[in-house]
Amino acid sequence: MTPLNAKDYLPNTVWSRRLDRLADHIGRGVSYVWLLLLGVIVINVLMRYVLNEGRIELEELQWHLYAVGFLLGLGYAYQADAHIRVDVLHEHFSHRVKAWIELYGILLLLLPFIALILIYSMPFVASSYAVAEVSASPGGLPLRWLIKAALPLGFGLLLLTVISRLLRVWHFLFLQTPSAAQGDAHAGQ
């Protein structure tokens, strides 16, 4: 277990380290999607305004790359603690209060939301695959099910990072030695 500090008060567990490492590798890999998206946008703009030729497939590719970057980046953002939170209030809480808020937020809000997305997105992708759905636009991209599959994949990755955080919070609140927890309570004030 790594030592606790003011920036990262939640202790790592064996499984949280593994899940965080996986999320970190995926997040770093997915970050190149944004460069690819930038290239597609530049090509699309040049073709439209220099060559006077618009391409539907390039516009759709932009949307698809943006969706992949956003959905597969959700887990990385949560793992890196780069998600939105009310920091004005959060920074004044003790580590223990922060951990309890995190625990209730995960159990009551985040996990049910992820479960709903996963439950309803799987038939969404399966039906698209079953009918071999393609873009409705002339010249659009084929394999529409592939981009739809980014939805459960992205939320599946988010679920892994949420489980990692839940393990860390659980360890902090319930499995940590009393002396370490007491030291953390003083550090957060």
Residues 8-32 as b/e (b if ≥16 CB within 10 A, e otherwise) read ebbbbbeebeebbebbeebbeebee
Confidence (pLDDT) at 40:
94
Q: Residue 179: what pLDDT? A: 53
Let me know: does 75 contact 23? Beta carbons within 8 Å: yes
pLDDT score for 85: 67
d(CA 69, CA 150): 9
The identity of residue 106, as a single letter, is: I
Least Cα distance to 76 among 154, 2, 168, 169 occurs for: 154
pLDDT digits (tens, 9 = 90+) for 62-98: 999 999 999 999 988 888 877 776 667 777 788 898 8
Answer whether 121's CB lies under 8 Å from 155's CB.
Answer: yes
DSSP letter (8 states) at residue 93? S
Rounded Cα distance between 113 and 21, Å, is 24
SS3 label, residue 7: coil
10-residue mean pLDDT profile of the chain (189 residues): values are 49 88 90 94 91 87 92 88 71 86 92 97 93 83 88 95 93 75 48
Residue type for position 163: I
Secondary structure tally for the chain: helices H, strands E: 8, 0
End-to-end CA distance of the chain: give it in Å, rounded.
23
d(CA 34, CA 57): 18
| pLDDT score, position 5 | 32
